[in-house]
Amino acid sequence: MLLLNYDFYDIHSVLTMLRAKPEKGCNIEIIKAVLEILSAEQIGNTIESNIVRNKLKSIETVDKEDFQWVYVNNIYTYGIRVVKDENAYSFLAKGFQLLLEYAKAEEPQHLADLADAFHNIPIFFADGCENFTKAVKIEFSYYNKKYQADLLKELSK
């Protein structure tokens, strides 16, 4: 399934909420849902709207107050772009896999820090960031320093 740039903006919103409320019990289900979307085969002739929102709506434990934007189906009339970059899906999927590990291990601070480092990456893909590597290095710098990591290298494998 191919995603629209607006679905990537929704993924950004998910990451922002994970960063703000890393201790929420529904985070594992939310991360799994996004991971399932990102891991699906990117094929097809039809493009659906609101894929991320529709998937999250199906999770009963989602806090309706925190995720109220999920319950509004947007009709996009301008600036629609289909994201066909397989690297975008793979990169994001690997990041969500790491988020899932921290959520399962009940490491809310690590989850929040990774979501903070990672939250603008979907926007870079949605908007076709011209200098992706430089932008990502800037986004990941605090996380890499704090955890002695090379997140860009880890997610690019």
pTM of the model: 0.93
Tell me, what's the pLDDT at 19?
A: 97
Structural domains in the chain (count):
1
pLDDT in tens, 75-84: 877 888 889 8
Range of the domain at 122: 3-156
Give the length of the chain.
157
pLDDT in tens, 58-68: 999 998 888 99
Number of other residues whose CB lies within 10 A of the CB of residue 49: 15
CB 93 within 8 Å of CB 35: yes
CB 92 within 8 Å of CB 11: yes
Distance separating alpha carbons of residues 88 and 92, to the nearest angstrom? 6
